[in-house]
């Protein structure tokens, strides 16, 4: 039996509160399904490591983390003390790039027991994945300023789309669509306005589509696509998007499903050359940190995605994943609930209840 080594980075704010609950549920599931996991903790955060060392990570972070099978990540960011661009480019975005976690995978699902902000939608109506490119595109530090301090001041900002980067995310998304109920893929674009990169993206989508005759596909400009998320979310199955567009759609999708506070995400290196990273979509939420009221479900759900990825098709891991999802669903319907879901339970109570249900 394989012993999985997991790097645990709770990070900032509520990260430190939801992480123990994520681990509690993972241990329950691992125990039940006979999966061996070993956790190693790292205190890399703004509030701890950065304050002591003036940087987000030690110099040898790459060699330290590389041997791990996965990174279980809470949240990063403490904007009052460390500007976001420093904390994020100094940790989360670094992991994504340097461990080549080129897929950001986020399920969008209307869950039982969760009030949906869209009128007349019920569980089953919304069930799709956003597949986001996670290493290049619009997220870039290339560019600069000219005529600084004068009326002519201007800033250039580069987006970078490589054939390698575009094709591998498209391939991943088409492969995923092949195994989904509707076998349908939607590509986000904006080729009518962003005149160089997006027509290129469209071309690669059309070429890749040709390799997957069993998958039907279409494309929407990002403006009308966000409208479609609100108006006809039932149409989607797999939505593939560039880094920025995927970022937008993977917040908007969970918002439409009422799950923005409980949505999980996986940052995957599908080739398994480097550890993948699993994290809640919510951030460090400094405003509610330290009060034991944060909802741990996103952390728990991210843990389920991690087990599934570690299993790499093994039905035992899939069963462990499904058991956690069922436990989440049971708690969403019957409680206990944290205040964000209208209840009065603590983070620990909800975590313990999910672990017990597993």
Binding site for its own copies (CB under 8 A): 84-85, 88-89, 93, 115-120, 138-145, 150-164, 190-200, 222-224, 226-228, 230-231, 243-244, 247-248, 250-252, 254-256, 260
What minimum distance in Å lies between the beta carbon of 192 and its own copies? 4
Nearer Cβ to ligand IPM, position 298 or 320? 298
86 near ligand IPM (CB under 6 A):
no
DSSP 137: B
Tokens, residue 342 = 């209208």
40 near ligand IPM (CB under 6 A):
no
With H, G, I as helix, E, B as strand and everything else as coil, classify residue 275.
coil
194 near ligand IPM (CB under 6 A):
no
CA 300, chain centre distance (Å): 13
223 near ligand IPM (CB under 6 A):
yes
Nearer Cβ to ligand IPM, position 143 or 193? 193
Residues 245-284: x where in contact with ligand IPM by CB under 6 A, - otherwise, as a string: --x-------------------------------------
Closest CA to 302 of 65, 27, 26, 44: 26
12 near ligand IPM (CB under 6 A):
no
Which residues have C-beta within 8 Å of that of residue 49, sequence separation ≥ 6?
43, 55, 56, 57, 58
Which residues have C-beta within 8 Å of that of residue 101, sequence separation ≥ 6?
95, 134, 135, 267, 268, 269, 274, 276, 277
DSSP 89: H
What minimum distance in Å lies between the beta carbon of 307 and ligand IPM? 21
Tokens, residue 57 = 């990570």
Nearer Cβ to its own copies, position 140 or 326? 140
Tokens, residue 270 = 């599908």
Binding site for ligand IPM (CB under 6 A): 88, 192-193, 223, 247
């Amino acid at each position: 039996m394989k012993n999985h080594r997991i790097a645990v980075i709770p990070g900032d704010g509520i990260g430190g509160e939801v992480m123990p609950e994520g681990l509690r549920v993972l241990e329950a599931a691992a125990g039940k399904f006979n999966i061996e996991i070993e956790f190693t903790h790292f205190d890399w955060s703004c509030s701890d490591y950065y304050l002591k060392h003036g940087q987000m990570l030690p110099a040898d972070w790459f060699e330290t983390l590389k041997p791990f099978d996965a990174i279980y990540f809470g949240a990063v960011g403490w904007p009052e003390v460390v500007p976001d661009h420093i904390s994020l480019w100094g940790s989360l975005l670094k992991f994504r790039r340097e461990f080549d976690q080129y897929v950001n995978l986020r399920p969008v699902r209307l869950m039982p027991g969760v009030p949906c902000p869209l009128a007349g939608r019920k569980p089953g109506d919304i069930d799709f994945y956003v597949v986001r490119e996670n290493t290049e595109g619009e997220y870039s530090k290339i560019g600069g300023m000219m005529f600084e301090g004068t009326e002519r001041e201007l800033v250039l900002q580069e987006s970078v789309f490589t054939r390698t980067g575009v094709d591998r995310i498209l391939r991943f998304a088409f492969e995923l669509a092949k195994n989904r109920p509707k076998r349908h893929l939607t590509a986000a674009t904006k080729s009518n306005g962003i005149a160089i990169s997006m027509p290129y993206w469209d071309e690669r989508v059309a070429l890749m589509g040709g390799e997957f005759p069993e998958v039907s596909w279409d494309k929407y400009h990002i403006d009308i696509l966000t409208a479609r998320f609100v108006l006809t979310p039932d149409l989607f199955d797999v939505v593939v998007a560039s880094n920025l567009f995927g970022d937008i759609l993977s917040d908007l999708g969970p918002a439409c499903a009422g799950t923005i506070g409980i949505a999980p995400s996986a940052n995957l290196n599908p080739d398994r050359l480097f550890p993948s990273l699993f994290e809640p979509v919510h951030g460090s939420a400094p405003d509610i940190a330290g009060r034991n009221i944060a909802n741990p479900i996103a952390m728990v759900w991210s843990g389920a995605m991690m087990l599934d990825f570690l299993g790499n098709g093994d039905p035992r891991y899939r069963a462990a994943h499904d058991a956690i999802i069922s436990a989440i669903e049971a708690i969403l319907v019957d409680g206990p609930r944290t205040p964000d879901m209208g209840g009065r339970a603590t983070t620990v109570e909800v975590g313990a209840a999910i672990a017990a249900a597993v």
